[in-house]
């Protein structure tokens, strides 16, 4: 049977995972919106604008590595 501290630790881990999932879902939605905007620009014949949108998205992906592949503090295991 789990002790109070183990239960609290589990609850904190669940909260952290839920928060991480919410962040990932928001990130996915932003990327989907960028893709939709780029498609609209391509359909309108604005290739340069579409490329600019996609380049900005790639920069965001590069700078958001913690969302794509979260890092764990040293010593923490699965």
54 contacts 38 by C-beta, under 8 angstroms = yes
Please indicate, yes or no, if residue 4 is contained in any of the structural domains.
Answer: no
For 19, the domain range is: 12-68
Domains identified in the chain, total number: 1
Encode pLDDT of 14-44 as tens digits: 999 999 999 989 999 999 999 999 999 999 9
Taking the model in full, what pTM does it have?
A: 0.67
Please indicate, yes or no, if residue 7 is contained in any of the structural domains.
Answer: no
Task: Report the distance separating Cα 1 and Cα 7, nearest Å.
Answer: 10
Please indicate, yes or no, if residue 78 is contained in any of the structural domains.
Answer: no
Residue 64: closest CA among 15, 12, 33, 20 = 20
Please indicate, yes or no, if residue 30 is contained in any of the structural domains.
Answer: yes
Encode pLDDT of 56-70 as tens digits: 999 988 887 665 555
Please indicate, yes or no, if residue 6 is contained in any of the structural domains.
Answer: no
Task: Report the distance separating Cα 78 and Cα 31, nearest Å.
Answer: 28
Please indicate, yes or no, if residue 45 is contained in any of the structural domains.
Answer: yes
């Amino acid at each position: 049977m789990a002790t109070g501290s183990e239960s609290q630790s589990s609850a904190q881990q669940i909260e952290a995972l839920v928060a991480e999932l919410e962040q990932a879902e928001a990130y996915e939605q932003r990327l989907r919106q960028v893709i939709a905007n780029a498609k609209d620009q391509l359909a309108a014949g604005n290739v340069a604008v579409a490329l600019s949108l996609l380049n900005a998205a790639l920069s965001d992906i590069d700078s958001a590595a913690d969302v794509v592949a979260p890092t764990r503090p040293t010593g923490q295991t699965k």
